[in-house]
Structure 1
């Protein structure tokens, strides 16, 4: 019994160490990427990457004009109405199904990313491209669709992976979030740098959120064992 308990403890600690190292590496890489993009956009005023992305996606739109309605439908799944519905409805469903911690994680992912995105947009105050194919208000950097969308779908993917439930669905959710980000450049409502910065911001927030909930869960366990 003691050997089995020790083996389980060692296995758990090794997994925890791998997770901490991995999450720490992603956090640092995301922070560096976000900082680099701010220098490219606001210090160097470089438009090379943004122009390249517009040219490539414009060529795709010209070659496949029927793709535009599909893109417009896809981009809806990170729009404000959808995110409000998902950010409230999914936590309520998860809580109803008995997943209290997961419900709080999803709500925190959407609400926190939304608040952080607005703060960053206000601070950087970048205007949207003047060549947008659809009417879109607000500021541009970082992309809210990319940032909040990845926060939502990334959180759901993490929950599925953590519970060993259909990991393929988790990967598809991440791919879905990436595609939504690309739609914003396709529609010219965001620059490519806005979208990449949004992805980086989402990863930063998700890792911070994961750390907050881990700390909270450990404290609850310690209090429960007293």
Structure 2
């Protein structure tokens, strides 16, 4: 069985061998673009990035083992390792494993929360329990991460079963991209939901990485 770890370690300049005194971000592949953008914006040249496959987003029960494997593989080569995952459906298992391994992770239940800002998301969560969220990544990969895993490409009649209790699609925009906004609106139409765009920027992801 192929390892879930992407062995490529990325830096702002491209490929690079690890060196002493550096920090490694082990991230969900769905956050790669955002983390590289933050590295460049802030000049965080001491950080390297390695990503686990974004498809683990669909299989949260596999995340904890994949993170542990990545940490053990790289721990001897870095002064600090940070895990760019929230709980992400692991039911607290990822947090417990990170404590065991002596590494930090992003606070919050999932990326929708930390992009919104965990404190703000906690305030609105009760009022938005009928909202379905998309990020920049999920808008780009809507078919691969929403439509196909749910079988809606083969059985569109399942839409009501999956989304009948939702009322709106909230697009949490990390960037101002008119093309992504148009695509997000089409995603809402395909699911039969009203549409709301909310510019969140990078939210608590930026705050967490600044600590590193």
Fold-level match, TM-score > 0.5? no
Structure having the larger proportion of residues in strand = 2
- For normalisation by structure 2, the TM-score amounts to 0.30
Structure having the larger proportion of residues in helix = 1
- For normalisation by structure 1, the TM-score amounts to 0.28
